[in-house]
Structure 1
Amino acid sequence: MNSVERMFDPAPEADDRLSNASTWESGGALWASGEQKTLTCCRVVDETHDVKSFEFRVGDGSPVRFEPGQFMTVSAQVQGQSVERCYTISSPPTRPYLLSITVKRVPGGTMSNWLHDNMKPGSELRAYGPSGSFTPTAAPAAKSLYLSAGSGVTPLMSMTRASIDLGLDRDIVFVHSARTPADIVFRKELQRLTELSPRLRTFFVCEGVGDEGGWSGPTGRLSLRLLSEWVPDYIEREVFTCGPAGYMNAARGLLREGGHNPARYHQESFDISAGVAPEPAAPANDAPQATFSVKLSRSSRTFTVNAADTVLSAARKAGVAIPSSCSQGICGTCKTKVLEGTVDMNHNGGIREREVQKGFRLLCCSRPTSDLVLEL
């Protein structure tokens, strides 16, 4: 028995604390996804030549609860314009006093370049509360396969860190794709974590070797042959995938080709490199549309909305500021409780059924069917 095995007392297979929502509901204060707070930067870490991690504490120093894999929407004034972007929280919820986002500098990227050039210890950043459903609680599993590319590693890193912080030796295979070995985000930490958790296995595949002539790993792209060699039992695993849209499509395709059950495949819904998307179009209907009133309970502001428009688009037309980001029912930033009235909501994964049961709706993809009173 080696030293790691002697120090590590593996949790029983039935221990599902990572995938149990109650684990993450018990620690820290609830920070609603529609509530904006100020973050103070504590530390900036160079992960690669073009990727930095920005670590923050909440302005009042309070702990924050969230689920591993969730994201925040950050807001900043860039060249006189308000810019909002979604970034996954790369730190685990087991460390609730410190939140980190890990950002790749994207050529021409407004927010990523601003963060890289301006964010330093002591700097402040506005952000909305954690949101998103790409978390282990979506699918409890005894064995997991994490597939990531580029900065898509961040939600899976949060899950991995959380699992180890909980003292769990979970059966996780983490396969990451990068351009070159120098572009592997969290490379050293992942290697260290495999020493702490004997059943965590990591594999890297790079498109090229770059300046690392001694690279002994595979080059090219992830293939079914490689996956079968590294993870012979991939069919039995719950798969979580995050990365550029093309990568996720390719990963889903090769798994399908290999006979993996699509019901056990989960991927991040928003493209982390994209900006704000257009709102979903209203259903085609030439009939006259009814008009309804919307009242905000906290501010007592009111505006009207046509039945063919989303509540968010009507609010914008009326000059009413409502937190939002993706505008297509994915990110959850505009999640709001409907106190009175009804809406027709067609979302894309940005809200959970238990939240719907509590009366919450995503305003970017909700069209009114009556007068409304919103908890805003």
Structure 2
Amino acid sequence: MSFKTTSLVLIKRHAETEDTESFYFQTKEASPLNFKPGQFILLSVTINNTTQVRAYSISSQPNNQIIQLTIKRVNNGLVSNWLIDHLQPNQEVLVQDIAGEFNIIDRPYRQKILFISAGCGITPVFSMANYLLNHQSDIEIDFLHCAKDEDNIIYDAKLPQLAELNTQFHYHLRLKKRISTQALDCSSVGRVTPEFLSANYNRIQQYTIFLCGSQRFMQDITQSLNTLGFDMAHFYHESFHVESTNATHINSHPSVTVSIPSFDFEQTVPYDENLLHILESGQLPIIGACRAGVCGSCKCKIEHGEVESTSTATLTPQEIEQGYRLACSSKVKTDVRVSLF
């Protein structure tokens, strides 16, 4: 099946929280999509006559006729907010590709697994956990999900149900604050500290840990694991962090120039501006799907000048040496000349 020509038809949608919806799709040919649990889908939609592509983790199971995507409303989130506000049953979207190195098939794991998620970061690890429960009955699974409060728990009924139906699945909910006087089963309040991890996950060094959440949450968990002396060879993570397209730049650096000779493009921009934002504002042919440096769709080549990149996840050492960078994860530091392909 060619993903570039695969249409998904929305079958139904369901509100998970006040700002998060689950969308249930079926391929137009009613045939299942094959993917690795934990991977994301590159979804293409047309908004105001312009094609937009974004990456969303798949929360359902592979080789199933129904594909579930759970999408959260975000500030200035063009595609996510459009899907929540406008997409209705029987409407179609297009699948550009399915990708992602953060998956349960390509990453070796031990007999004990700890999944840690926060907010909408639950989607890929939820898919992984269900896959293991269906295919690996000897794996012991601990699932720690973090949410702002009781009203913002994604899959609030499904996770306790998994724990009831599977003796090897253990669920813990960690809330930032509690808004009800009635405590939820398996829940607690507070940050995920080294003390919390060591107290709740005995012999944590025996686990393989899969983590997905916001950038700040990811940093906090990583620091906690380092404090505990966890072997990071058994730690895998995915992070989708979307920068605001309306960021205000306040600095003393002079402006810089971004040029793309093959498209007769040249623009003066603020120092430290995000390269993807620059290219998109110039209506240049570049796809910013995940916008977090994990899918590789915005790869470009820096022919001259300097950018600072926070992610080179999908680039080979040879490509990096040749000047290739991911535009979504790069900020311009000097005048630069860019090539697009």
Question: TM-score with structure 1 length normalisation?
Answer: 0.67
Contact 1:169 1:198 in 2 (8 A): no
Contact 1:132 1:332 in 2 (8 A): no
Which residue of the partner structure matches residue 78 of structure 1?
47
Which residue of the partner structure matches residue 348 of structure 1?
312
Task: Kindly provide the amino acid, as one letter, of the partner of residue 331 in structure 1.
Answer: C
Does residue 69 in structure 1 map to residue 33 in structure 2?
no
2:82 to 107, 114, 122: 114
Task: Kindly provide the amino acid, as one letter, of the partner of residue 206 in structure 2.
Answer: E
Does residue 202 in structure 1 map to residue 166 in structure 2?
no
Task: Kindly provide the amino acid, as one letter, of the partner of residue 350 in structure 1.
Answer: T
Give the aligned length: 294
Task: Kindly provide the amino acid, as one letter, of the partner of residue 43 in structure 1.
Answer: K
Give the distance between the partners of 1:246 and 1:203, measured in 2 at CA.
Answer: 20
1:67/1:188 CA distance change after superposition, 3 Å = same
1:184/1:142 CA distance change after superposition, 3 Å = same
Contact 1:169 1:200 in 2 (8 A): no
Give the distance between the partners of 2:158 and 2:290, measured in 1 at CA.
Answer: 31
Give the distance between the partners of 1:177 and 1:328, measured in 2 at CA.
Answer: 21
Give the distance between the partners of 1:200 and 1:327, measured in 2 at CA.
Answer: 33
SS of residue matched to 1:133: coil
Give the distance between the partners of 2:138 and 2:166, measured in 1 at CA.
Answer: 5
Determine what percentage of the aligned residue pairs are the same residue.
28
Which residue of the partner structure matches residue 272 of structure 2?
none
Q: Deviations over 1:164-216 (max 9, x none)?
A: 23263421111111000221111211111112221111101101112464446
Q: How does 1:217-256 map to 2 (within 5 A)?
A: 217-256=187-226
Which residue of the partner structure matches residue 72 of structure 2?
104
Contact 2:214 2:239 in 1 (8 A): no
Contact 2:111 2:138 in 1 (8 A): no
Does residue 127 in structure 1 map to residue 95 in structure 2?
yes
1:328/1:190 CA distance change after superposition, 3 Å = closer
Give the distance between the partners of 1:59 and 1:52, measured in 2 at CA.
Answer: 21
Structure 1 position 328, deviation (Å):
7.5
Give the distance between the partners of 2:315 and 2:12, measured in 1 at CA.
Answer: 32
Give the distance between the partners of 1:198 and 1:352, measured in 2 at CA.
Answer: 42
Give the distance between the partners of 2:79 and 2:64, measured in 1 at CA.
Answer: 25
Note the residue ranges of structure 1 that are not aligned, 5 or more in a row. 1-28, 277-301, 304-311, 336-345, 357-362, 367-373
Give the distance between the partners of 1:328 and 1:203, measured in 2 at CA.
Answer: 28
Which residue of the partner structure matches residue 50 of structure 1?
19
Q: How does 1:169-184 map to 2 (within 5 A)?
A: 169-184=138-153
Structure 1 position 274, deviation (Å):
4.4
Structure 1 position 58, deviation (Å):
1.6
SS of residue matched to 2:82: helix
Give the distance between the partners of 1:108 and 1:229, measured in 2 at CA.
Answer: 39
Q: How does 1:289-300 map to 2 (within 5 A)?
A: none
Which residue of the partner structure matches residue 330 of structure 2?
none
Give the distance between the partners of 2:313 and 2:181, measured in 1 at CA.
Answer: 40
Which residue of the partner structure matches residue 306 of structure 1?
none
Give the distance between the partners of 1:90 and 1:274, measured in 2 at CA.
Answer: 23
Structure 1 position 270, deviation (Å):
3.5
Moved more, 261-270 or 155-164: 261-270
Moved more, 160-169 or 234-243: 160-169
SS of residue matched to 1:190: helix
1:267 to 220, 237, 250: 237
Contact 1:36 1:128 in 2 (8 A): yes
Give the distance between the partners of 2:37 and 2:297, measured in 1 at CA.
Answer: 17
Task: Kindly provide the amino acid, as one letter, of the partner of residue 255 in structure 1.
Answer: L
Note the residue ranges of structure 2 that are not aligned, 5 or more in a row. 246-261, 264-275, 300-309, 319-323, 328-340
Does residue 187 in structure 1 map to residue 156 in structure 2?
yes
Give the distance between the partners of 1:207 and 1:37, measured in 2 at CA.
Answer: 40
Give the distance between the partners of 1:242 and 1:179, measured in 2 at CA.
Answer: 15
Give the distance between the partners of 1:87 and 1:44, measured in 2 at CA.
Answer: 15
Structure 1 position 105, deviation (Å):
1.6
Structure 1 position 65, deviation (Å):
0.8
